[in-house]
A and B are shown apart, each in its own frame.
Chain A
């Protein structure tokens, strides 16, 4: 019995450990209450219902909550922890819209009508004020800054985004798709950015795997769907007639698949070649 805890640790399935030190700082002027209940992948639905599905795709680990109260204002902080920076960036971009009022906080953040969302390291943090409208902005920004300071990682975006050309990017269009890219279960872990060239938008994407065999498998699966049997690695790019997603320009370099969707051959020539040069 005395060794109960040790026996548990030895015999039970490995599971994630509870976060001991949560980045909920004491902030002058605000009363802090950390919620006792927390949520994992098995009960996140209970808290955020169907919205949970999106989080689970990004290797969600746990959600802790806290209320900060000052006078009549209550700001609830939702602290979502994921397994990696790309995953927090990914879920953050799923919920981001280009029209928001963007802030330099953490890796990136924005505010709108009583909410402020940002990500930093493995955390995606959402703050929601009981006050709607612009009056909530000072409180939200102050708390967000304090919380960001508690998270001891750099204020960075995933470095993979640096592989894309900087020019002609559509601002705030960068995304990370962890699963089911373009609607295919075999395509995963894709970074994407939109570009505006000659007044036409297109979408560039990069998929990288440590294991070249995985890239080969992804490519072969895609070529079978597209019924393409003349793939040529030596070409600048190959043209794929995707039955569901239209014309895709695709290339491979080492452990990378790079492509362009919704675009023209001219756009593909410009963007895919630039990406290849950066690899």
Chain B
């Protein structure tokens, strides 16, 4: 099932000689075509074909390739990493992982849960030909949850013992064919309580004492500020992996938490830097991924990032960020234009809680909005509204909306749009 092969001996070409990247005509990357116009690097770069992506990545890791990369210290871990690492996204092409390694990327991120374990297996297979001390592996183990009160209110299940957690991690090590990983994250932690679960912390400390993990980490993409603060409070976590992208630029609490973590010597790793990559559900309108990545990595207290890379083009594009982190005016304008397309669907992150002066259940109202406008299921929307017990015009006394949505939703407008539904006789609903 794995697409393995002996990599052809390509002529080594340093990063400085990568050729001009022009997106294929007729490819799905239509969005990129209008954005990626500049030479990756080097005044001697030459067009090949004029319409084809053509890049020669080095066939072996070299000191020169490594020199071209911007590196930052990952907190007090002792690791110094290029600011672009690799999020390993799929399990069907180990050659991308090898190409990334040969280009100077040293840090690879996977997880116990991805592709039912096949992602870890592929990473292990792809990297086993290289010296173990020449790269760093991060993996993640999910706790077992009790979801009796819904996913958003999940708690640690009784079944989620220290032994179960360690067993899952040991399975990860077997899949990776390694004796240790460099970072083990407690995966996708949604709140402070779970972050500070004693027996899970104990499990990771046990693994560290056994030499099976080098550093203890925590990953989060819900209530990130709260989780990062908990990580700092614990004095156990050494690395935090957090969602951060240009759509979150107004999330002061998140930025404060990341800065605080950095000051405390905790490594900060960025994920979801491309905010989903596409502007539309149909995945036809791609954002300027390079600009998005630059935006995140301009902050020096974000030490590295793990963008997903599935093509050699992605790899070259992401690496090119390290040539010049400064956003051009055009790139800034593009990122700003994306705020107009925040989408229809609430993430359910609940970061809006407590912001509404009237205490409206914003999360539930956004769900009703999704039913109405996303699914055209007005009956379901009405039921949600009925359970919320909100009037049909709840915002009428407010001069402006005090709720800031990290996804960029205009909350006031959406609440006004959906609560009008309450005035419609139920017989007319579909």
Q: What residues of chain A have their CB less than 8 Å away from a CB belonging to chain B?
A: 1-2, 4-5, 8-9, 12-13, 15-18, 35-37, 40-43, 45-51, 53-54, 56-57, 93-98, 117, 130, 172-173, 175, 177, 179-180, 182-186, 188, 192, 194, 203, 214, 217, 221, 224-225, 227, 241-247, 261-262
Q: State A242–B115 Cα separation when bound (angstroms).
A: 27
Q: Are A179 and B310 in contact (CB under 8 A)?
A: yes
Q: How far is the CB of B34 from chain A (nearest CB, A)?
A: 16
Nearest 8 Cβ contacts at the A-B interface: A42-B345, A224-B52, A95-B116, A246-B5, A18-B375, A49-B188, A262-B5, A180-B310
Q: State A227–B1 Cα separation when bound (angstroms).
A: 28
Q: State A16–B370 Cα separation when bound (angstroms).
A: 11
Q: A47-B151, A54-B114 in contact; A221/B349 too (CB < 8 A)?
A: no
Closest to A172 in B: B1
Q: Contacting chain A: which of B35-43, B249-257, B421-429? A: B421-429
Q: State A226–B67 Cα separation when bound (angstroms).
A: 28
Residues in B neighbouring A179, C-beta threshold 8 A: 28, 310
List 24 interface pairs A-B (beta carbons < 8 Å), by A numbering.
A5-B428, A5-B430, A8-B376, A9-B376, A15-B281, A15-B375, A18-B375, A42-B281, A45-B221, A49-B219, A50-B111, A56-B283, A95-B115, A96-B118, A97-B121, A179-B28, A179-B310, A180-B310, A185-B24, A185-B311, A224-B54, A227-B54, A242-B8, A243-B8
Q: Contacting chain A: which of B86-94, B329-337, B394-402? A: B86-94
Q: Are A51 and B8 in contact (CB under 8 A)?
A: no
Q: Are B48 and A1 in contact (CB under 8 A)?
A: no
Closest to A131 in B: B159
Q: What residues of chain B have their CB less than 8 Å away from a CB belonging to chain A?
A: 1, 3-8, 10, 24-29, 48-49, 51-54, 56-57, 87, 89-93, 95-96, 99, 111, 113-118, 121, 142, 150-152, 159, 187-188, 219, 221-222, 271-272, 276, 281, 283, 308, 310-313, 343-349, 367, 371-378, 380, 420-421, 423-425, 428-430
Q: Are B423 and A185 in contact (CB under 8 A)?
A: no
- Other 14 A-B pairs with CB < 8 A, given A4-B424, A262-B3: A2-B424, A5-B376, A9-B376, A13-B344, A41-B281, A50-B114, A50-B271, A51-B115, A94-B92, A95-B115, A96-B1, A97-B1, A182-B93, A185-B24
